[in-house]
Amino acid sequence: MLIYDLEQRDGKSKYEYLYQCLKEDILNGKLAEGEKMPSKRQLAKENGISVRTVINAYEQLQMEGYLQSRERSGYYVVSDFDSPLRYQKITIPDPTPEKEEKWVADFASNTTVYEKFPFSMWTKVMRQVLGDYNLHLIMRGEFLGSPELRYEIAKYLYHNRSMVVSPDCIVIGTGIEYLYSKLIGLLPEHAVYAVENPGYRKIRLIYEELGVKWTWTAMAENGIHMGSLRSSQATVVHTSPEHHYPLGTVMSARRRQELLKWLEESEEHYIIEDDYDCEFRYNGHSIPALFGLDTSGRVIYMNTFSKTLSPGIRISYMVLPPKLLERYVNSANFFSNTSSNLEQHTLARFLRDGYFDRHLNRLRKYYLSQGEKLKHAIEYTPTIPVEEIVGMETGTHLLVKLHTELPDAEVKRRAQERGIHLCCLSEFCIEEQKRYEHVLVLNYSGMEEERMQEVAELLGGVFDSEIAEKRE
């Protein structure tokens, strides 16, 4: 049925309005190519108009080439006209991994546990914000982000990362990728960016997408290998000193001082300090951030709430040293902030009223328990040739060093056959390095506790044939 509200025709005649409605339905695909139109009497009856009104509309559409009349059959939508407005159905590929729904265990997914999101607390705070801020929430947001949120983040950084920063130096944005695009515009055009190797692969992809020159620096046991950094000729280094992914390395105090000394060697040297999951330390206190130790004003601190709350809440932030902040304000102050006012104000109050701290405490206990249970399940599965398990002190993943002759690709293939999706440490390397082979990177944040032993036994099945061969 084609029924139109002719009371909304805004001064047009009924025939003109009907013609316009039918034309729009043809152009947007609601009336498909080759489709037969309703009879004149039927369409007139359904819309409470005269048959003459329908005839006039049909004839106008026929004259313009949208309809064709077939003797003793009626009117049909023309199937061979070409219009730039013609609706075309676009098939969007599914971005999710092909087997995501089928994995027995997905150790490759390094994300938060959605079920642990504090819905009741978040909803309560959001209702308060809606009532208190009202129209302000639908107005254009502050350029740097909500002043309330920047103030609460500054307080949080002072108490948790030993950083004394002005809220005016904090820039809010929708995700780390967005902030990188803004940051790179502030740094020297000819800068060479160094990424850690092995390291978080997404950073390299961001640099490639943004068209900057990048290289890599090797890792040592206590953080970035300084000799490798110097030989790379990089001027900007991206690093995660509090917790490296995927190695799990915590940069030593001495290495931090060496890195800051490198920073002072040239005014074109900068450090991007990525503190993506500094909150998940289970023993002792976090080491002070590089930003707080820097005296040169060339450390940029970046963090996100994607890991602690949810990637769906697209709020990340960077702390700019004064000179870069001045450059940013002068060059980009015409941009509107990309984060929702509602979510920024909700997060500000969530931080202010202590909900965030309580949520983090619960998450830490949960993740620590998950890591311990997975470690126990692996250690007590005799068919897994474990040489060493590390990574219990920080983060949400374990490194399992294996005593096996199987190539990493074969281990992955066999695991997939058993419904286990996993990554090997060698996959995070820019070039092949023997010392990083035969190490599994197991992200356990999304693991189901009751299935851990079952998953460990399935993983052990990967090595059954190898163990049998050794016995023979």
- Write a three-state SS string for the chain: CCCCCHHHCCCCCHHHHHHHHHHHHHHCCCCCCCCECCCHHHHHHHHCCCHHHHHHHHHHHHHCCCEEEECCCEEEECCCCCCCCCCCCCCCCCCCCCCHHHCCEECCCCCCCHHHCCHHHHHHHHHHHHHHHHHHHHCCCCCCCCHHHHHHHHHHHHHHHCCCCCHHHEEEECCHHHHHHHHHCCCCCCCEEEEEECCCHHHHHHHHHHCCEEEEEEEECCEECHHHHHHCCCCEEEECCCCCCCCCCCCCHHHHHHHHHHHHCCCCCEEEEECCCCCCECCCCCCCCHHHHCCCCCEEEEEECCCCCCCCCCCEEEECCHHHHHHHHHHHCCCCCCCCHHHHHHHHHHHHCCHHHHHHHHHHHHHHHHHHHHHHHHHCCCCCCEEEEECCCECCEEEEEECCCCCHHHHHHHHHHCCEECEEHHHHCCCCCHHHCCEEEEECCCCCHHHHHHHHHHHHHHHHHHHHHHHC
Please tell me the predicted confidence (pLDDT) of residue 140.
Answer: 80
Count, residues in the chain: 472
Please tell me the predicted confidence (pLDDT) of residue 96.
Answer: 46
**Rounded distance between C-alpha atoms, residue 296 and residue 266, angstroms:** 10
The whole-model pTM stands at: 0.77
Fold of 13-77: Arc Repressor Mutant, subunit A (1.10.10)
**Rounded distance between C-alpha atoms, residue 206 and residue 209, angstroms:** 5
Please tell me the predicted confidence (pLDDT) of residue 99.
Answer: 40
Q: Are strands 192-197 and 67-70 parallel, antiparallel or unpaired?
A: unpaired
Domain 100-107+358-464 has CATH 1.10.3720.10: no
Please tell me the predicted confidence (pLDDT) of residue 255.
Answer: 95
Please tell me the predicted confidence (pLDDT) of residue 414.
Answer: 95
Please identify which residue in the block is written with the tokens 């695009």.
181
The CATH number of 117-353, from 3.10.20.30, 3.40.50.720, 3.40.640.10, 3.40.50.2000, is: 3.40.640.10
Per-run averaged pLDDT (10 residues), the chain, 472 residues: 81 86 87 88 88 88 86 82 48 47 82 86 95 85 92 95 94 91 93 95 91 94 95 96 92 95 96 90 84 95 92 92 93 78 95 96 93 94 94 91 94 94 94 90 88 93 72 50
Please tell me the predicted confidence (pLDDT) of residue 94.
Answer: 53
**Rounded distance between C-alpha atoms, residue 67 and residue 293, angstroms:** 74
Please tell me the predicted confidence (pLDDT) of residue 86.
Answer: 47
- Dihedral, CA atoms, 414, 420, 426, 428, nearest 10 degrees? 150
Please tell me the predicted confidence (pLDDT) of residue 15.
Answer: 86
Q: Where are the domains of the chain?
A: 13-77, 100-107+358-464, 117-353
